[in-house]
Amino acid sequence: MDSRQLYKAAEHIRTTLTWEKNWIHFGTANDVKYDLINELIENFLQSEYINFVHERTNSGAVEATKILSAIKDLLGKNNFELWNDSMDRAIQFNRIGVLLKGKKKGPITFSMKWRISAIRYFSAFWKAQQICDLVGLSNKIWLSKSQIWLSCT
């Protein structure tokens, strides 16, 4: 999956997660608690590959063993997210040195509606299918001349 697709998928799935109420302080500048971050990545995300979501053109999958070195320069300076490979758990890092954990509670369900022209019909159908495939869910797609409805469950 390319950077834009991952960024867009995270944007949609983020709203389906249940986020913990308390932010966890991990530090800034020279006071970053790398052990805490590494422990959260290993124990909370529990994934061989971590999806790094930073910007539309700067996101991608990174091996879990290499993720800490990949994010080291961003910690306490930029906002970004780390997701497990099944996209059902995430850690949201804030530039002020705090993080928030979120995980899926129950099945992911969301619907999208695209208004499309005849030329973009196939493209919209393909994107709808990719979003469901990305998160490994079954899908129902309803088509009409001017709209596509997608429901992933």
Give pLDDT tens digits along the chain (153 positions): 899 999 999 999 999 899 999 999 999 988 999 999 999 999 999 999 999 999 999 999 999 999 999 999 999 999 999 999 999 999 999 999 999 999 997 654 444 444 444 445 556 666 666 776 766 666 666 655 556 566 665
* C-beta neighbour count of 129 within 10 angstroms: 13
Q: Who contacts 15 (Cβ-Cβ below 8 Å, separation ≥6)? A: 110
Contact indicator for 104, 16 with CB cutoff of 8 Å: yes
Q: Who contacts 94 (Cβ-Cβ below 8 Å, separation ≥6)? A: 23, 79, 100
Sheet holding 147-152, edge to edge: 110-115, 147-152, 139-143
The reported pTM is 0.69
Q: What pLDDT is recorded for position 1?
A: 82
Q: What pLDDT is recorded for position 138?
A: 62
Strand locations in 32-138, DSSP E? 49-53, 60-63, 80-84, 89-94, 98-104, 110-115
